[in-house]
Amino acid sequence: MPAYMIANVRFRDPEKAQEYGRQVGPTIEQYGGRYLARGRAEVVEGDLQPGFLVLVEFSSMDQAKRWYASDEYQRIKSIREGNSEGEIIFVEGLPSS
């Protein structure tokens, strides 16, 4: 069953955001993830404060968690953590019909 990573990141430093973006993509691909959406979002209800939103599909929740815990991602995670605030969540998808 697929799983999705949803990230809402508000970067303070645009240069570090670009550096993080250059480095994170290959780690996602290495773990079988693929971008479904990324960019600015518009809130139509609620209090969400969107920054840069990302939606990534993985083959399973286990695979999404493997990517997040991977040495490859852990090496660059500090670029995001030190220069942004935001949220990252994993959600299970629906089985294919």
For residue 72, tell me if it sits in a domain: yes
- The rounded percent of the chain whose pLDDT value lies above 70 is 99
For residue 82, tell me if it sits in a domain: yes
pTM above 0.85, yes or no: yes
For residue 33, tell me if it sits in a domain: yes
DSSP, residue by residue, 69-96: HSHHHHHHHHHHHTTEEEEEEEEE-PPP
For residue 14, tell me if it sits in a domain: yes
Q: 16: pLDDT confidence band, cut at 50, 70 and 90?
A: very high
Range of the domain at 18: 3-92
For residue 58, tell me if it sits in a domain: yes
Q: What is the mean pLDDT of residues 36-65?
A: 95
pLDDT of 97 strictly over 80: no
Q: 53: pLDDT confidence band, cut at 50, 70 and 90?
A: very high
Question: What is the per-residue pLDDT for 35?
Answer: 98
Give the CATH number for residue 22.
3.30.70.100
For residue 97, tell me if it sits in a domain: no
Work out how many domains the chain is built from and give that number.
1
Residue that the structure tokens 């852990």 belong to:
74
Q: What is the mean pLDDT of residues 52-65?
A: 97
For residue 80, tell me if it sits in a domain: yes
Say which residue, 60 or 96, is predicted with more confidence: 60
51: phi then psi, degrees, rounded to nearest 5: -115, -115
pLDDT of 59 strictly over 80: yes
